[in-house]
Every structure is written in structure tokens, then in C-alpha cells.
Structure 1
Amino acid sequence: MDAKAWDERYAGTELVWSAEPNRFVAAETTDLKPGRALDLAAGEGRNSIWLAKQGWQVTAVDFSAAALAKGKLLADAQGATVDWLTADLVTWTPEAESYDLVLIAYLHLPEDEMRDVLTKAAAALAPGGTLLLIGHDLTNLTEGTGGPQDPSILHTPETVADAMPDLRITRAERVHRPVTVEGEPREAIDTLVRATRS
């Protein structure tokens, strides 16, 4: 979907996603010392807001102005300070070696565009910084539930890790996430990759 389609999806009063941070984002960042964080494809900002409340100085980037406007309202209501930036990650380049954490949660693009975003995200890390990607895994199509149904935009731990050869990969695996579908408990399968710049 393009920015206009996402704007329309986010335009309603209800949250498209939960107000709580993603479970893996919370688990994988609690051991990190807060610094500057960049949340790419931030949507309504649930992870950005949570990080800001943990002491991070957060920049949230998304191409949907409607999503970011909703995120700003949520952040203001919770007393969280986040810099909101409307930009298309395919064409936008973050400042190099400037962030202690770069987060990419559930961004799904064609392979060449995703590789380019990962390259720019890795370059944005300061020395010692951490990059965390979480997204729908390719095996979710056949073994999990929900998420995009186009295999060409789904992740595998291997393809994500291979796109960042200059980083030290500290975790690259498939993880299971409980979801509820029509009142029934199910599992979704995600790719989780954590990497650091030496």
C-alpha cells in the first residue's frame, strides 16, 4: 500500500495496532542504555512512545502523516516526547552513525527496497549501537497466521542478516507470537534479527 492508502487506514479514531509496545521490542531493548533511537516505519508510534518513556530520545519516521499525527496525540497524552518525521523510507536517508538504536518493526517491502532500507539503517548506527528488526516471517504463510500474504515481501533471518554484512549479528531466528483470530488462540511466526556496530 502507498502512503495515501495507509493514511486512509489510520484516519479512523480507533488504533490500527495496539497501544502497547511490541513484545519483542520491549524484551530486546530493556538491556540497552537509553540514547538516541530511530524508529523506522513507526506507524502510530507505540514502540516510539514506549522507548521515550524508558528514557530514549526518539525520532519516529513513517510515510503516513495520519499515523504520526495519531502517535503525537498518544505521546502527548502520556507525557512522552518524540520527534515525528513524515518521510518515505525508500527515498529518505537517516544521518550516518548517529543512533544508539535503530528499530524496524513490521516493515515489508520488495527485496531490493528492503535491502536498501537495511543498508541505510545499518549506516545510521553509532559505534556500539544496536539494530533490531522484527517482521512477518516467510514461514508464517504456511505455518502461522495473519500478516501479508505476498511471499516476496516477507522476511527470513538469513536474508535480513545477509543485508547487513558490516554489522555483528547477535541474534537471527524465527520467533512465535501468540495472536487471537476470531476468538481462537493462534500463533504468528516472525523474523527477529538483532545486530550491533562494532
Structure 2
Amino acid sequence: MDAHAWDERYAASELVWSRGPNRFVAEELAELEPGIAVDLGGGEGRNAIWLAERGWSATTVDFSQVALDKGRRLAGDLALDWVCADATTWRPDRPVDLVVVAYLQLAAAQRRLAIRSAVQMLRPGGTLLLVAHDTTNLTEGTGGPQDPAVLMSAEDVLDDLEGIEVEVVRAGRVAREVTAASGHHEHAGDAARTAWDCLVRVVRR
């Protein structure tokens, strides 16, 4: 999907994603000391807003201006930066402490550009956290994109980082329970079902 298609998707509903942060973002990053953070491909900014509430200086980068405008309204008086740009090419003007990449849907070549760029934004000791729809979700899980080209595994992400020195803190497949009530409209009924995500957390050396 291009920026225009995402603009249309964001314009069609009150919120495409949940108002609160992704659960894995909250679990993995709650104990980090606040610093400078980038939410890359952050859409409506739910993760950046959560980080800002915890004292981070946060920037959401997305190519959908509609999403960013919605996020700015959601953030209210919180001080965040909102940048309309391509996640594969945008770079901050100084090194950052944290980059979050949550459910960025790109084909392999563009994904590799975005992930390598994300790590290269980090200062030494900075953290990259990526959460994405896992390749196995298509056959074993529920919801999410049905195009295998935009799915990935933790192994794919680590391969994308070949040649960049990082410490791998966590890399693997994680389960996420979803229901229609939790905002997953593609899932009918109240019973929880399992979606499979890949999660990669690395620290730049």
C-alpha cells in the first residue's frame, strides 16, 4: 500500500490501531531510562504517545499525513514531533536512544532498508525494538496482512542487520491473543484467538 492508500485507511475509522501502546512495546521498554526515541512507521503514534507520557522525547515518522494529524489530536498537550516521511529514507539530525518499529508492512527489500536505517540512527548502546506480523501468522494465526510479502520472521530481521554490530537481546516468535472486542475487526466473535508476531530487540554496539 502507498501513502494515499494508508491515508484512506486512516480516514475511514476513528482509530486503525488501539489507543494504548502495543503490549510488547510496553513490556519490553517499560524499564528503559527515558531519552530520545523514534517511532518509525508509527501511524497514529500510539507507541510514541506512551513513550512521551513516560518522559521520552519522542518523534513519530509515517508517510500518512492523515495518521499523523490524528495522532497529534490524540496526544493533546504532550510534546511530540510528527514527521511525514518515508520510513526507509528518513534520518534524524542526531543519534537517538531508541527506535521502535511496530507492524511496518514492507516487502523484503524495503524492509531491509528501513531496519538497517533504524539501527544506524542509534547511538552506541541504543535499542531497536521491532514487532511485526510473523510469517507463520498466515497459516497458524489470525488476522493481520494476508500478503506473505510483508510478513517476516525474526531470522529475516537479523539477516537484514548483517554487517552491523549489535547485541541481540531477544529474537523470536511471540503469541498475541486477540478478540473482536480488542479492536481486531477481522476476527468475529468474542473468543480469543492467537496471532503470531515476530519480536526482535537489539542494542547497537
What TM-score do the two structures reach when normalised by structure 2?
0.92
Give the Cα separation in 2 of the matches to 1:37 and 1:151. Answer: 29
Distance 1:156 1:5, change over 3 A: same
- Please name the residue that 2:80 is paired with: 82
Question: 1:187 and 2:194 equivalent?
Answer: yes
> 1:156-175, aligned counterparts within 5 Å?
156-165=153-162, 166-175=165-174
Give the Cα separation in 1 of the matches to 2:93 and 2:117. Answer: 9
Q: Would the aligned equivalents of 2:3 and 2:63 in 1 still touch at CA under 8 Å?
A: yes
Identity in percent: 55
1:138 to 135, 138, 144: 135
User: How far off its partner does 1:13 sit?
Assistant: 5.4
- Please name the residue that 1:43 is paired with: 43
User: How far off its partner does 1:157 sit?
Assistant: 0.7
> 1:107-122, aligned counterparts within 5 Å?
107-122=104-119
1:103 to 91, 100, 104: 100
Query: What stretches of structure 1 of length at least 5 have no aligned partner?
Result: none
Query: What stretches of structure 2 of length at least 5 have no aligned partner?
Result: 180-186
Which residue identity does 1:123 align to in structure 2?
Q
Give the Cα separation in 1 of the matches to 2:170 and 2:61. Answer: 24
Give the Cα separation in 2 of the matches to 1:7 and 1:69. Answer: 11
Which residue identity does 1:89 align to in structure 2?
A
User: How far off its partner does 1:94 sit?
Assistant: 3.5
Distance 1:172 1:57, change over 3 A: same
User: How far off its partner does 1:16 sit?
Assistant: 1.1
Deviations 1:69-112 (CA, angstroms, capped at 9, x unpaired): 00000001xx321100000123323446x110000000021111
Q: Would the aligned equivalents of 2:88 and 2:117 in 1 still touch at CA under 8 Å?
A: no
Which residue identity does 1:35 align to in structure 2?
G
Which residue identity does 2:147 align to in structure 1?
D
User: How far off its partner does 1:159 sit?
Assistant: 0.9
